[in-house]
């Protein structure tokens, strides 16, 4: 027995979290009587009060059991070392919490009684309970979360509890039809939705400790999903109707009431807590959400403390990674370390502990290409010059408009041979696709390529991009994928120290790519077919960029109609794509017009 006690004591000493924090588990009653499972980690040193940091998640607060501890606490190690009360909660209907789970719970602005619950009320009731039942707090609460927990952070700040002083929604989900995760401009992000809901969406008994989920079906998503056939066949063969939200995805193919109710942005008004929204320029999942949550609060809560941080990161990279590279693209410094130490920690310290000088600007953003942090008093920056990169004859790209009376470029788009979104293979959505080398696509006959001459000076783009295309098709529907690419010079230096097999000369780095489903060109609520051969205008916003194309580089724009399996295949026939049959899929000849009266190009903003 003495040996066992000694071993336990030694184990506690070698576990800094267990040594410094005690853990308790609670079931917190909400106003409608449902109980939400909550883990609470409090400093063992009770000589002073501490603020509370709350994280609400659908992904599990594991490990479960009062004597089993997380390996780390809070947004970073800075917080556990400094001393906070950390609270993790399974959201309603997930894992060990009671109630019914709703994906991206609709917000209820007009509440009439205890049955009218949403993520705002659940956060409010949780904070109220914590203040009454957790000793030794200082009366101040903060919330943070990445991705889906970022949604719960933003939603929980609406009509906030007075004790909620600071929040940080990081890569938050905001609108699952227009730009986050599973749809972009009406295009279904197939590989991401399949990889996520094939696991997350599986029914299981509630409440219950979560069990390991099955692996994905194939290491080659392109081959697996192409062979599976149309979306209806994928469901029939593999999901067999077992995933309720997949059925919702298939049943709501337009921006209808179902999706509008799940758009968080209109409700982000009259914000009382200080807000720091965080995102990554190369976030494959929720780049849209980070930018749009910041912009919505800025517009609808003009008096709020609302700041934006954007780094050169993949989804959540800022939470623990050095942030020095993504794939083959190097960023020149440990951007993640800078964020955690100099930005995130001071923000919460200031608002939750009332200490530390805070000098955060309105927008602290990383300038990719130039590889440096910049600060601005607004985002997008105020002093931007609008410009257009025009498509010209011979695959040229220029700031000068065309003077040709007629002209177009065309390609045949075949849904049976879709353009892959990466050069290699991946079983899921590759996070590196956001900076993927586009040379594999440049050589395909179904991809149009336009490029500038080598730049004689640096060119910096900031803010939104808007492709403006004059197009025609022999079909009655079509997707239009537009990609902005940074073409490195052939003599571009390799990294120092060298990385085996890494050669960057001639690299064609994707800076921003975005698809648009053509039938939504006049509105996402009511799709309209194309008239074969008729020239029509397709314009759509792409998420913001902040990128410098260095002297000697070239700017490239690519246009295509498939991007598989990132985006599901458009049959190129006007139909309900979610119910399309194999015989609905057809080849189509796509034309992009570039004449004086029908110019196509990319609208952008230059920062001098």
Residue with tokens 């490029």: 451
What pLDDT, on a 0 to 100 scale, did the predictor assign at position 199? 87
Residues for the chain: how many in total? 608
Q: What are phi and psi of 33, to 5 degrees?
A: 95, -15
pLDDT in tens, 366-406: 999 999 999 999 999 999 999 999 999 999 999 999 988 89
Residue with tokens 């910041």: 294
DSSP per-residue letters across 261-316: HT--GGG--S--SEEEEEEETT-TTTHHHHHHHHHHHHHH-TTS-EEEEEES-STT
Q: Alpha helices of 60-108 — where are they, by DSSP H?
A: 77-82
What pLDDT, on a 0 to 100 scale, did the predictor assign at position 503? 85
- C-alpha 243/C-alpha 246 separation (Å) is 5
Query: In order along the chain (608 residues), what is the average pLDDT of each group of 10 residues?
Result: 38 80 98 98 97 98 97 97 98 96 97 96 98 98 98 98 98 97 98 93 85 74 96 91 94 97 97 98 98 98 96 98 96 98 97 86 98 98 97 97 92 98 95 97 98 98 98 98 98 82 91 98 97 98 98 98 98 98 98 95 96
pLDDT in tens, 7-37: 344 444 579 999 999 999 999 999 999 999 9
What pLDDT, on a 0 to 100 scale, did the predictor assign at position 213? 66
What pLDDT, on a 0 to 100 scale, did the predictor assign at position 211? 78
Do 158 and 123 form a contact (C-beta atoms < 8 A)? no
Structural domains in the chain plus CATH codes: 2-174+264-376 (3.40.50.1820), 384-607 (2.60.120.260)
What pLDDT, on a 0 to 100 scale, did the predictor assign at position 12? 47
Picking from 411, 410, 325, 315, the residue whose alpha carbon sits closest to that of residue 371 is 325
Do 57 and 122 form a contact (C-beta atoms < 8 A)? no
Q: 336-351: string of b/e by CB count within 10 Å (b at 16+)? A: bebbbeebbbbbbbbb
Question: Is the sign of the CA dihedral 346, 350, 356, 359 positive or negative?
Answer: positive
Picking from 415, 414, 390, the residue whose alpha carbon sits closest to that of residue 403 is 390
Chain-centre distance for alpha carbon 586: 32
């Amino acid at each position: 027995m003495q040996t066992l006690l000694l071993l336990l004591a030694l184990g506690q000493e070698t576990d800094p979290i267990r040594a410094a924090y005690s853990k308790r588990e609670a079931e917190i009653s909400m106003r409608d009587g449902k109980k939400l499972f909550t883990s609470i980690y409090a400093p063992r040193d009770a000589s002073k009060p501490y603020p509370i940091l709350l994280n609400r998640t659908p992904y599990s607060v594991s490990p479960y059991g009062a004597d089993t501890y997380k390996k780390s606490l809070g947004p970073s190690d800075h917080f556990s070392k400094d001393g906070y009360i950390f609270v993790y909660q399974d959201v309603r209907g997930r894992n060990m919490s009671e109630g019914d789970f709703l994906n991206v719970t609709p917000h209820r602005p007009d509440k009439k009684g205890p049955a009218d619950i949403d993520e705002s009320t659940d956060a409010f009731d949780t904070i109220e309970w914590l203040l009454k039942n957790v000793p030794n707090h200082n009366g101040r609460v903060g919330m943070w979360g990445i991705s889906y927990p970022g949604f719960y952070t933003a939603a929980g700040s609406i009509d906030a509890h007075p004790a909620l002083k600071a929040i940080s929604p990081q890569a938050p989900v905001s609108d699952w039809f227009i730009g986050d995760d599973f749809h972009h401009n009406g295009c279904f992000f197939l590989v991401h939705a399949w990889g996520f809901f094939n696991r997350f969406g599986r029914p299981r008994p509630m409440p219950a400790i979560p069990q390991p989920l099955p692996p994905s079906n194939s290491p080659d998503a392109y081959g697996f999903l192409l062979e599976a056939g149309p979306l209806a066949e994928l469901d029939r063969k593999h999901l067999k109707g077992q995933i309720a939200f997949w059925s919702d995805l298939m049943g709501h193919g337009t921006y209808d009431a179902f999706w509008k109710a799940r758009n968080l942005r209109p409700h982000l008004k009259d914000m009382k807590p200080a807000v720091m929204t965080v995102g990554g320029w190369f976030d494959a999942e929720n780049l849209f959400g980070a930018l749009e949550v910041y912009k919505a609060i800025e517009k609808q809560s003009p008096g709020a403390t609302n700041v934006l941080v954007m780094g050169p990161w993949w989804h959540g990279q800022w939470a623990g990674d050095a942030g020095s590279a993504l794939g083959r693209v190097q960023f020149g410094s440990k951007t993640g370390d800078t964020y955690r130490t100099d930005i995130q920690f001071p923000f919460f310290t200031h608002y939750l502990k009332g200490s530390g000088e805070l000098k955060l600007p309105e927008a602290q953003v990383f300038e990719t290409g130039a590889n440096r942090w910049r600060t601005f008093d607004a985002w997008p920056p105020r002093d931007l010059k609008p410009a257009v990169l025009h498509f010209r004859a011979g695959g040229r790209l220029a700031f000068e408009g065309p003077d040709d009376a007629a002209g177009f470029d065309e390609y045949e788009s075949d849904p049976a041979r879709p353009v892959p979104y990466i050069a290699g293979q991946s079983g899921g959505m590759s996070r590196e696709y956001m900076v993927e080398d586009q040379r594999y696509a440049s050589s395909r006959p179904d991809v149009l390529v336009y490029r500038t001459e080598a730049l004689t000076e640096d060119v910096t783009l900031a803010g939104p991009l808007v492709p403006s295309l004059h197009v025609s098709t022999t079909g009655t529907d079509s997707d239009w994928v537009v990609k902005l690419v940074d073409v490195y010079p052939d003599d571009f230096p390799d990294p120092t120290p060298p990385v085996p097999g890494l050669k960057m000369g001639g690299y064609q780095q994707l800076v921003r790519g975005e698809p648009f489903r053509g039938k939504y060109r006049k509105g996402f609520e009511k799709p309209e077919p194309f008239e074969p051969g008729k020239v029509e205008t397709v314009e759509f916003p792409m998420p913001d960029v902040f990128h410098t194309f260095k002297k000697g580089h070239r700017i490239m724009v690519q246009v295509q109609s498939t991007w598989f399996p990132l985006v599901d295949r458009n049959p190129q026939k006007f139909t309900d794509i979610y119910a399309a049959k194999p015989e609905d899929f057809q080849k189509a000849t796509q034309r992009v017009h570039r004449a004086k009266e029908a110019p196509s190009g990319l609208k952008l903003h230059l920062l001098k």
